[in-house]
Chain A
Amino acid sequence: MFLRRALVLALVAAVAVAAAGCGSSKKSNTSSTAAPSGQPGAGKPAVTLGSKNFPEEVLLGELYGQALRAKGYKVTIKGNIGATEVVDKALTSGKIDGYPEYTGIGLTAVAGDTKTPASAADAYNKFKAFEEKRGFTTLAMTPFVDTNTIIVKPDYAQGHQLKTIADFKNVNGTVKLAGPPEFATRDQGLPGLKKAYGVTFKFKPLAIGLQYGALDNGDVQTATVFTTDGQLQGNKYTELTDPKNVFGYQNVTPVISKKVVSAEGPAFTQTLNAVSALLSTEAMRRMNAAVVLDKQDPAAVASSFLKANNVK
């Protein structure tokens, strides 16, 4: 009796393992659809787009990918792959055909070029030149940037007449600033601010996202956050200008393999450029808010946005 039961069990177990092993198709973070004929994407080879492991990048991957699908391209979206290094490796090893990159980060982290660019266009051109040497190209960049920014509460700004970061020099007493830990040592952080504007702060390190709470309840007078944070929508806080561009340039541009760009045809590039043109700072803030604050699904948020702008 034992043997019979044991064999039954072994059989069930084997079937379960086989079903589990063979049945696993590509899961929810990737998806693709067929192309109805008559559209620019019909008959073109399939494309894989990737994105890094934070909400804004996942949103961008969905925006670009879904826009292409609406034009009939066969797109697989591999979201949330990993940090810049990891995604770049996926690109160069051919696992993905493209991904959205920030011009400043592309220069420092991917190209290894630490010289400060002179302008947004300069950053873009330098990055484009680097990628083209490797067999990739960059398409049109977005209007929005995602850099650090210094914020204060509106009444604090009015009370101390703060318009630009350098104005902190006129504030009496120590000013407490909250930011992510690495802000204390980065060039695009406290040292850079000191060098460019001669301002110093008492630094309170906080994990990303917690600065808003600290600013709201008065633990700190100012904070460094990101320009496209959802919490900034509707001008709830006042941003101080950074005329010397300590925080650099971080427009987004899709990096795509040259071979894929030519194989997919001109409508491919046009579609992506059209999406990029729509991405204003306020638009990104609202979408980030929906994903990060209201916990909505990035794919759904991207879809709503594209539909509202007749891309889908």
Chain B
Amino acid sequence: MGEFGSAFTFMADNAHLLLTKSIETIELSAAAMGIALAIGLPIGVWLGHTHRASFLVINASNVLRALPSLAVIALGLAFLGIGFVNVMFALVVLAVPVILTNAYAAVDGVNPDVVDAARAMGMTPLEVITRVEMPLAVPLTFAGIRTAAVYVVATAPLAGFVGGGGLGDIIVNQPQYRLSGVLAAAIVIAVLALATELLLALVQRMVTPRALRGETEAPAIGPASREIVA
């Protein structure tokens, strides 16, 4: 148990190293989330708005969320080689299904009467999406974004195994950093993941229109419950 004490000593002695590596991990996660949002949100919202392809979406997301994260990274390594791009690709593949499915379910599930009323008031389809469906879809969509973000931050350390940088570099380099370093990096990773979860929970609360605040917790049954971490 004294090993944990030495981990804190390592943190004190190597604060700069840990900070640099943490930033690398955060950058990787942010980049992956950015791309995943750019892909998953528009497609999910569009499919939900048109109520199309539900069978395809649900089954594809079932398959994709079953992918073990290390397996996806290994496949990325085989085809894309070592480095940042490989891991980012893997993280995007892992994050998009969650974001897409939740956005889809959220927009698809908007009360059809409300949508009809909006159309009756003369709103264009784009206005319907942006002024009616999306605000109502915020709770469930954001739950998906939050899940995906925590998943990505939790998986990003695996980049260390394939030369992608970040805190994982320390964990796979026990010969250089000793057990104290490995434990220190593990603690920092855990703190990062928890901070991401709590921060986004806070943002989710702020972003949710007051009228919908009661629904902020994603239902246990359904796509949003598929929370997975690496």
Contact = CB atoms under 8 A, between A and B. Distances in A.
Direct contact, A vs B (beta carbon within 8 Å)? yes
B174 A83 contact: yes
Interface stretch (B105-113, B135-143, B175-183): B175-183
B176 A85 contact: no
A84 interface: yes
Interface in A161-199: 182
Contacts of B175: 83-85, 109
Among B82, B175, B176, B178, the one with the most A-chain Cβ atoms within 10 Å of its Cβ is B175
Interface in A71-98: 82-86
A22 interface: no
Contact of B174 (A82, A182, A207, A210): A82
A85 B178 contact: yes
B4 to A, nearest CB: 16
Nearest to A109: B175
B179 A85 contact: yes
Contacts of A86: 174, 179
A149 to B, nearest CB: 19
Interface of B: 82, 163, 174-176, 178-179
B176 A207 contact: no
A207 B179 contact: no
Given A182-B176, A210-B82, 13 more contacts: A82-B174, A83-B174, A83-B175, A84-B175, A85-B174, A85-B175, A85-B178, A85-B179, A86-B174, A86-B179, A109-B175, A207-B82, A207-B163
Interface of A: 82-86, 109, 182, 207, 210
Contacts of A109: 175
A109 B174 CA distance: 12
A266 B175 CA distance: 34
11 contacts: A82-B174, A83-B175, A84-B175, A85-B174, A85-B178, A85-B179, A86-B174, A109-B175, A182-B176, A207-B82, A207-B163
B20 to A, nearest CB: 14
Nearest to B163: A207
Contacts of A83: 174-175
The 3 closest A-B pairs by CB, nearest first: A83-B174, A83-B175, A207-B163
Contacts of A84: 175
A86 B182 CA distance: 12
Contacts of B163: 207
A207 B176 CA distance: 15
A85 B177 CA distance: 11
A182 B173 CA distance: 10
A84 B178 CA distance: 9
Nearest to B172: A83
A210 B178 CA distance: 25
A265 B7 CA distance: 42
B84 to A, nearest CB: 13
